[in-house]
Structure formats: structure tokens, C-alpha cells
A and B are shown apart, each in its own frame.
Chain A
Amino acid sequence: DTGVSQNPRHKITKRGQNVTFRCDPISEHNRLYWYRQTLGQGPEFLTYFQNEAQLEKSRLLSDRFSAERPKGSFSTLEIQRTEQGDSAMYLCASSFSGSGETQYFGPGTRLLVL
């Protein structure tokens, strides 16, 4: 297994454009998490899935953000009408379900909104 992968690794976009990121978790993992990390800060939880069900969304996740995991495998995170404040690293992690399972992180997608 090659671990959690994310694409693209970098994305530069103009304010107002839509962007979509993809995360491929470790294949046996049924949980998938999205986090956002700004410079000098720790990651902040956005949302997570167990299989295809989205179980929780942070209040940080405005209406412009939507995440899907249609077949319980890969997930996409879409940001509509991007704003400069959306510039950040978007991290994906996956794990088995169960209490205290270790989350394995991908390399992240760095978004820059001009």
C-alpha cells in the first residue's frame, strides 16, 4: 500500500473560481477525514466520512465547501467561489473505524487564492 494520496499537490486559482481536491485513502480504511491547516497553525477538523456517509461537519465548513465520498473509497472536497481566506493546506487522513484508531495523513493540497 502506498499510503494516503492527494491530488493535486498544489493549486493556484483566482478569487471566485471553484476548485476540487481529491483524496485516495489507504484501501482498507473506512474512515476518511478532511482538515485545513494555515501557516503556523495545527490542522483544523473540517469533516469526516465513515464509508460513504458524512458523519460530521465542522462549523468551519461554510456553505461554499462540500465533500463527497460516493463509493466509500476516494473523496473529493470542493470549494465554490473561492476567497483569499481559503488559502491553506488541505489535509486528508484515513483510518479504520473504532476508538482511538491512528489516522494516517496524506501529503496535502496547498491552495493559493489570488
Chain B
Amino acid sequence: AQTVTQSQPEMSVQEAETVTLSCTYDTSESDYYLFWYKQPPSRQMILVIRQEAYKQQNATENRFSVNFQKAAKSFSLKISDSQLGDAAMYFCPATNRDDKIIFGKGTRLHILP
């Protein structure tokens, strides 16, 4: 079974600053994939970034980057130059080869103007 833990229910960051959201997971699978999704107040889930567990290189997507520590089963998201539009719930689900996504409880990110 897979589990995902997001230990920060809420976080706040000043606009233009950098924030890191933490995520840990537990899986016995050797082949799995990790994602960060954001869910703005309108509630449509949007993919932010994706990481294949077999790749050592951390994924990067514009202002978003991950720090993937496979041995520690840690998968944090760094948001640089935070913008008001980044305010949302953030989820870091994991999926195995059956592609069933397991979500944690999420982290609500507030952007302070």
C-alpha cells in the first residue's frame, strides 16, 4: 500500500518570495511516479510538475522545482518568485504502475501581497 503525508496543513509566503512545500511518501513499489497538483479556489485540479522515481534528476517547470530524495522518500516542491495566482491547495500524490493515485490531505498555500 502507498501512503502520502503532507505535514503542513497551511503555509503563507510573501509575494515574490520562495516557499517550499514538503511531502513524504511510503511505498514498497520500485516503479512509481510522483506529482504535484494544485487546486485553486475554483477547485479544478491542475498538474504542476511530475517526477519519475527512476530519474535522479529533479524535475523543474519554470518557477516550480522539486527536491526528490528517494532514499528518504521525500518529494518537496519549491515555488520561486511566488505570485498571487499560486494561492491554492497543493497535493503530492503518488502512483504505481497500476496508476491508482493516492492523495494526501494537501497543503493550503496563502500568498501575502
Contacts and interface: CB of A to CB of B under 8 A. Distances in A.
Interface stretch (A19-27, A61-69, A72-80, A96-104): A96-104
A45 to B, nearest CB: 6
A105 B102 contact: no
B33 A42 contact: no
Interface stretch (B14-22, B41-49, B57-65, B66-74): B41-49
A111 to B, nearest CB: 13
A106 B44 contact: yes
A105 to B, nearest CB: 4
A56 B98 contact: yes
Contacts of A43: 45, 91, 101, 103
Contacts of A107: 42-44
Contacts, number: 58
B94 to A, nearest CB: 10
A96 to B, nearest CB: 10
A42 B97 contact: no
A103 B50 CA distance: 11
B43 A103 contact: no
Given A31-B99, A99-B33, A105 B104 contact: no
Contacts of B52: 100
Contact of B45 (A45, A98, A99, A105): A105
16 contacts: A31-B99, A33-B101, A41-B106, A42-B91, A43-B103, A45-B101, A45-B102, A89-B43, A91-B45, A93-B45, A99-B33, A99-B97, A100-B32, A100-B33, A100-B99, A102-B35
Interface of B: 4, 31-33, 35, 37, 42-47, 50, 52, 91, 93, 95, 97-106
